[in-house]
Structure 1
């Protein structure tokens, strides 16, 4: 018989659910990203709280490296790990203060240090100091050669004309030096204003190895990366929901007659 037959095709359905929050796989990945991000974000802050201490420097004796009122982050270190060129935090009661003091280490136990013609020399070598200001405040008053006792440090401020540092205590029994054990931290960065990491002075390399930078950059990367994962994972649901509500264009398969 020449009857007319009609074949209808059912709409095809995709394997993944397209609910308002996206596919199940997407939801799981989103949740995983948020969880991992929280671990990295909180872990970075926790690590930083254990390793670093914040300080506010009240004077300009370390200018231009650190200005008056600047906020710094200093890594907790043992005094035995301090090397030439480090900017350290220490407390020494013989300096007529119980408050933490921030200065730069220029010589360590066994070194000879002096100033001739306003220039710093350590072990007979003139030290280039690019961290100093260019306006004359960097000039050192001449002082005779000091031999730093074992286990002690000779420290200077970067603003030489206004810094009460080792040169102000040369008549003391310790000749202005400070015990390594008095050091509690090494400054890694100026965080307010956001001047960033302190530059390691390479001129001291001729006298020995410099200190390695602390883990601050790694911590910042963990915190930033964790924040990105949390925001990205949290944004997946609203974005998927918005996309699922967009009107679909086109028509389904036509009837075959």
Structure 2
């Protein structure tokens, strides 16, 4: 090989090493930064029952964004603890907020909020939104919560005779579920906030940054692996090259 060719190869090698090192450095920032960001904003919970199926199955490990109860909107799947309901954290969907009149069912078997029928695509099957008719007034500063599996969920309907008419205080909520982390086949974001609640006052909440965090961690891992693999791959390719004549 001529001197010029060797110089060019050396130059390409140095540039490749610089770029691979930069890829690893950026990857580490994204990977570690994403993990730290996620640990600060999110907390994992295990769902013990099928009351939220098929949205969340029993045994699923969910990731819930730490929020204040004042941020909750209708349609959110939240984690809360209320002494009247028990000592364990529970996962349910918010269908009513303070001042709402929540009832079931209309002539089409749908839930109604303030007289407005709400489409709930997350419910299993094609039956009514609740096997048992009910009606409740939600006190100010409180939330009315139901499981998605209405035929097998202990929720606000079972506490209608309580002082809060089945509702829980907003301050009982400490997180909002954004996605499922385990099992692997169920990994991913929850379905978008149900559009059936968008037309009601207050609308629906925006998704948290979980998708962006996941992208940062995944992208960081790809850059780290790609950058680290560059050197061994180039050396192996170099050993396999047939030397040209001088």
Distance 1:212 1:92 in 2: 25
Distance 1:180 1:53 in 2: 19
Match of 2:70 among 62, 69, 80: 80
Alignment of 1:191 with 2:181, yes or no, is: yes
Alignment of 1:139-178 (within 5 A): 139-144=130-135, 146-178=136-168
Deviation per residue, 1:42-98 (Å, 9 max, x gap):
111111111111111001111111111111111111110000000000000011x11
| Contact 1:138/1:161 (8 A) holds in 2 | no
Q: What is the deviation of 1:247?
A: 3.6
Superposition RMSD in Å: 2.0
Distance 2:216 2:66 in 1: 20
Q: Give structure 2 stretches of 5+ with no counterpart.
A: none
Alignment of 1:214-225 (within 5 A): 214-225=208-219
Match of 1:101 among 90, 95, 100: 90
Q: What is the deviation of 1:192?
A: 2.0
Q: Which has the larger radius of gyration?
A: 1
Q: What is the deviation of 1:12?
A: 3.1
Deviation per residue, 1:114-152 (Å, 9 max, x gap):
1135531101011111110116485341123x2211111
Match of 1:119 among 83, 89, 110: 110
Normalising by structure 1, we get a TM-score of: 0.87
Normalising by structure 2, we get a TM-score of: 0.90
By percentage of residues, which structure has more helix? Answer: 2
Q: What is the deviation of 1:17?
A: 5.7
Counterpart of 1:5 in structure 2 is: none
Q: What is the deviation of 1:243?
A: 2.3
Distance 1:137 1:50 in 2: 40
| Contact 2:94/2:145 (8 A) holds in 1 | yes
| Contact 1:167/1:176 (8 A) holds in 2 | yes
Distance 2:58 2:128 in 1: 15
1:84 is paired with a residue whose SS is coil
Alignment of 1:12 with 2:3, yes or no, is: yes
| Contact 2:27/2:224 (8 A) holds in 1 | yes
2:4 is paired with a residue whose SS is coil
Counterpart of 1:204 in structure 2 is: 197
Deviation per residue, 1:217-236 (Å, 9 max, x gap):
11111111111111111111
Match of 1:232 among 211, 217, 226: 226
Distance 1:90 1:166 in 2: 13
Q: Give structure 1 stretches of 5+ with no counterpart.
A: 1-9, 253-257
